[in-house]
Amino acid sequence: MKDTIPAATGHQGLQERLNYWFGNPALLQLALTHPSVAHEHGASMQTNQRLEFLGDAVLQLVLTRELYEKFPAFDEGPLTKARAQLVNRRTLAERARQLNLGQYLIVSRGEDLHGGRERPSALADTYEALLGAILLDGGYDAARNFILRQFQAAFGELSAIPELENPKGELQELLQATSTEAPRYCVASASGPDHDRLFECTVHHGGKELARGRGKSKKAAESEAALAALAKLRAAPESKP
């Protein structure tokens, strides 16, 4: 697509990096305007805060739908945790750095002198504001396509199951919804030298082995077994009376 903005005023290099060209260059300019500018030039000046609010919403919506479709066997808890991994402030700041947004960020002189262009919070906010600007400029499909391009690698890094902070707790909660019996873990084997042990653990419930897991410690192997059991239980069709 041809760039519709002169290079001197339209941030041509940034738009090429984004692989998105704005029909309304004022939206891009607004997305790059840090709140410190308003403090310096007057409270009536618009900054990127409202666009940040909008961008946060569209980012959450797009990723929520993708996670919902990518992991049909999982309920709200694991999906929420997986989404949180994708959109934490550190991650968004890093995405802003990859796009070199700091170079284009419009900040007050004081903010610039104190390293405001590379401040993680400012970069994360600007990234969300950019998403809001794309939404207003090109519509939902344009914003969605941009977000999915940006997060394609991150989705690839997610395993078949979203990483859980406490898989053993999640498994116990799931099982005890229909039974008072807690899952039981056993060490099936341990191999390797003392400095490089490999454990294999099983998890049992109702007299049956649910799954197995391996890890460099007993705790890690039990967690992997719990993850495997969760995947199996949530993927299985519900039993019918």
pLDDT digits (tens, 9 = 90+) for 4-17: 333 334 588 899 99
Say if CB 189 and CB 200 are below 8 A apart.
Answer: yes
Q: Is the pTM of this model over 0.85?
A: no
Residue 56's pLDDT is what? 95
Average pLDDT for the chain = 84
Q: Which residue would you say has higher pLDDT here, 155 or 204?
A: 204
Identify which of 193, 211, 194 has the alpha carbon closest to the alpha carbon of residue 202: 211
pLDDT digits (tens, 9 = 90+) for 176-194: 888 889 999 999 999 988 8
The region, left, alpha or beta by phi > 0 then psi within -120 to 50, assigned to residue 207 is left
Per-residue confidence at 43, pLDDT binned at 50, 70, 90? low
Q: How far apart are CA 95 and CA 56, in angstroms?
A: 14
Positions annotated as catalytic residues are 56, 128
Residue 156's pLDDT is what? 61
Identify which of 52, 46, 127 has the alpha carbon closest to the alpha carbon of residue 86: 127
For 7-157, the fitting CATH number among 1.10.1520.10, 1.10.1040.10, 3.30.70.260, 3.40.50.300 is: 1.10.1520.10
Task: Kindly report the CATH class assigned to 167-235.
Answer: alpha beta
Per-residue confidence at 3, pLDDT binned at 50, 70, 90? very low
pLDDT digits (tens, 9 = 90+) for 105-160: 988 888 878 877 888 989 999 999 999 999 999 999 999 999 999 988 777 656 54
Place of tokens 């610039």: 112
Q: Where are the domains of the chain?
A: 7-157, 167-235
